[in-house]
């Protein structure tokens, strides 16, 4: 009686493992469904400037990588210089943030669906390495802005984001008192300020040396595994339980 159930058990175990493997694969090596992302990641030999670390496997095209280095890129007609000139030391972090957003194929675990006219998906709570957030904040101390959330609330009547009525240009520190306030507030929690350090394998690096490979691949694998491990038992446990019961009846019979 028991031996009859063995193929069934094997089939169930196999199905469960396939489901969890599929869940993990779906979160790895993917491009978000947004405005300028490619459908699938692939090599882009000629990626521009600060986006070159992603050239082995990128979700951005060459022209996107060029455009996002401009002060008012035609990608979004968004300007960082809404309160006068932004210091180059500060600006490079915004360019890097753009490169990560447009080019990274390793942010699958944090993709969420959204109901926005210009994109179907967004990133939410990407754990940004402590040092990357800290350095961004320090280098922007002396630049100016008028808002603590750059995603919404601008005056777009001119076609480019302008400070809305009632706001004043002040130092970054006024609007972003801490590194976390900057990294998390800027794009409505696209980032979460992580306590983990660069190289830990537990946080996403905005900056990395491609000679050592892309450190974010391992990070994505870790979080994808953690997420699918958390999701698996809910669906499979009841099945296993009923199978165990059947097995017991089989034994009794």
> 29 or 135: whose CB is closer to ligand NAG?
135
In whole angstroms, the minimum distance from the beta carbon of 120 to ligand NAG comes to 11
In whole angstroms, the minimum distance from the beta carbon of 121 to ligand NAG comes to 13
Q: Tell whether residue 117 is a contact of ligand NAG (CB under 6 A).
A: no
Q: Tell whether residue 152 is a contact of ligand NAG (CB under 6 A).
A: no
Those residues whose C-beta lies under 8 Å from the C-beta of residue 61, and which sit 6 or more positions away, are: 36, 38, 44
CA distance 126 to 104: 12
> 17 or 77: whose CB is closer to ligand NAG?
77
Residue 114 to residues 13, 39, 162, 172, 228, Cα–Cα distance (Å) = 34, 17, 25, 29, 21
In whole angstroms, the minimum distance from the beta carbon of 115 to ligand NAG comes to 4
Q: Tell whether residue 115 is a contact of ligand NAG (CB under 6 A).
A: yes
> 20 or 65: whose CB is closer to ligand NAG?
65
> 76 or 187: whose CB is closer to ligand NAG?
76
> 29 or 200: whose CB is closer to ligand NAG?
200
Q: Tell whether residue 244 is a contact of ligand NAG (CB under 6 A).
A: no
Q: For the window 173-212, what string marks contact with ligand NAG as x by the rule CB under 6 A?
A: ----------------------x-----------------
Q: Tell whether residue 165 is a contact of ligand NAG (CB under 6 A).
A: yes
Q: Tell whether residue 159 is a contact of ligand NAG (CB under 6 A).
A: yes
> 115 or 212: whose CB is closer to ligand NAG?
115
Ramachandran category for residue 51: left, alpha or beta (phi over 0 → left; psi -120 to 50 → alpha): alpha
- Considering only residues 3, 152, 157, 253, which one is a binding residue for ligand NAG as defined by CB under 6 A? 157
What is the contact surface with ligand NAG in residues (CB under 6 A)?
74, 76-77, 115, 155, 157-159, 162, 164-165, 195
């Amino acid at each position: 009686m028991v031996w009859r159930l063995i193929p069934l058990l094997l089939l169930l175990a196999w199905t469960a493992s396939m489901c969890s493997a599929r869940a993990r694969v779906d979160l790895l090596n993917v491009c978000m469904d947004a405005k300028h992302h490619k459908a699938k990641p692939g090599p882009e030999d000629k990626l521009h400037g600060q986006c070159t670390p992603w050239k082995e496997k990128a979700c951005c095209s060459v022209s996107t990588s060029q455009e996002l280095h401009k002060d008012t890129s035609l990608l979004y007609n968004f300007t960082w210089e809404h309160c006068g000139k932004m210091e180059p030391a500060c600006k490079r972090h915004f360019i890097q943030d753009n490169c990560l957003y447009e080019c990274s194929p390793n942010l699958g675990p944090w993709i969420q669906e959204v109901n926005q006219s210009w994109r179907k998906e967004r990133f939410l709570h990407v754990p940004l390495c402590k040092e990357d957030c800290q350095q961004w904040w320090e280098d922007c101390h002396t630049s100016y802005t008028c808002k603590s959330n750059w995603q919404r609330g601008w005056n777009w009547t001119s076609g480019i984001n302008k400070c809305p009525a009632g706001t004043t240009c002040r130092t970054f520190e006024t609007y972003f008192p801490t590194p976390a306030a900057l990294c998390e507030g800027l794009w409505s929690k696209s980032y979460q300020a992580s306590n983990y350090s660069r190289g830990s394998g537990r946080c996403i690096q905005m900056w990395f040396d491609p000679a050592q490979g892309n450190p974010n691949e391992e990070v994505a694998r870790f979080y994808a595994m953690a997420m699918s491990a958390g999701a698996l038992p809910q669906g499979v446990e009841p099945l296993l339980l009923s199978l165990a019961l059947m097995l017991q009846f089989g034994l009794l019979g």
